[in-house]
Amino acid sequence: MVVFVAEFRINISNLSEGIHEYAFEAGPSKIGLDERFRSVVKVKVRLDKSLHQILLQAKMWAEGAFVCDRCLDNFIWQMDKKYSMVYIQGDRSTLDLKKEEEIQVLSADTNYIDLDEDVRQYILLAVPQKLLCREDCLGICPTCGVNRNNESCSCDAHVTDSRWDVLKKLSHN
């Protein structure tokens, strides 16, 4: 049986009212990130505690090794992201909440805030769906397969797929 200990954990049991700052670092696998993430994940947290709520503001840094969707080259993607969360002690049903995804209700006996899962999810959501080594990546030539970022080719850029010729004839009628 594997037991995981939270890497980004803040003890709030005896936390005084006011501003509190924390800095955390952990290996990506410690918070459940896959092998694409190779460097240490860093998180800086600022807590503003009042009588019945805690406002958490976090800034995260992570780095991952990915493959470009256009040219298939490996590249390093760097992320820095911020998020905020409000922790409220009380019963959620009695609260008038408008942005539930940014509010978490804590029970009266909660002693710790564990940020591991929030940090992991924010990092994964920040990874772009289309992974590009750079915005102006030229990709691979569909004819000769050369990486057009590194060298040019003499292939006709407007080569069409002959399987579509029948449809083109229909549109000209």
Q: Is residue 143 part of a domain?
A: yes
Q: Quick one: pLDDT at residue 173?
A: 58
DSSP structure string for 49-117: E-SSEEEEEEEEEEEEEEE-TTT--EEEEEEEEEEEEEEEES-GGGS--S-GGGEEEEPTT--EEE-HH
> Where in the sequence is the domain holding 168, given as residue range(s)?
138-173
Q: Quick one: pLDDT at residue 59?
A: 96
pLDDT surpassing 70 at residue 150? yes
| Residue 19 and residue 87 in one domain | yes
Q: H-helix or E-strand containing 122?
A: helix 116-126
Q: Is residue 2 part of a domain?
A: no
Nearby residues of 163 by Cβ (< 8 Å), 6 or more positions away: none
Question: What does the mean pLDDT of the chain come to?
Answer: 86
| Residue 49 and residue 121 in one domain | yes
State the Cα–Cα distance between residues 53 and 152, nearest whole angstrom.
59
| Residue 84 and residue 114 in one domain | yes
- 159 or 66, which is more confident: 66
- Banded model confidence at residue 142, pLDDT cuts 50, 70, 90: confident
Q: What is the mean pLDDT of residues 139-152?
A: 91
State the Cα–Cα distance between residues 19 and 32, nearest whole angstrom.
29
Report the share of the chain in percent with pLDDT over 90. 60
Q: Is residue 30 part of a domain?
A: yes
Q: Quick one: pLDDT at residue 5?
A: 52
Identify which of 72, 78, 46 has the alpha carbon closest to the alpha carbon of residue 59: 46
| Residue 34 and residue 88 in one domain | yes
| Residue 173 and residue 101 in one domain | no
Q: Is residue 4 part of a domain?
A: no
| Residue 143 and residue 125 in one domain | no
Q: Is residue 57 part of a domain?
A: yes
Q: Is residue 1 part of a domain?
A: no
| Residue 95 and residue 115 in one domain | yes
Report the share of the chain in percent with pLDDT over 70. 86
Residue 147: DSSP 8-state: B
Side-chain-facing half-sphere of 21: CA atoms under 13 Å: 2
| Residue 173 and residue 88 in one domain | no
What does residue 153 show for φ and ψ, rounded to 5 degrees? -130, 165
Q: How many domains does the chain have?
A: 2
Nearby residues of 10 by Cβ (< 8 Å), 6 or more positions away: 22, 45, 47, 112, 113, 115
- Banded model confidence at residue 65, pLDDT cuts 50, 70, 90: very high
| Residue 111 and residue 128 in one domain | yes
| Residue 75 and residue 125 in one domain | yes
Q: Is residue 22 part of a domain?
A: yes
| Residue 64 and residue 116 in one domain | yes
Over residues 81-122, the pLDDT tens digits come to: 999 999 987 665 555 555 544 788 888 888 999 999 999 999
Over residues 6-21, the pLDDT tens digits come to: 689 999 988 899 999 9
State the Cα–Cα distance between residues 125 and 72, nearest whole angstrom.
22
Q: Is residue 3 part of a domain?
A: no
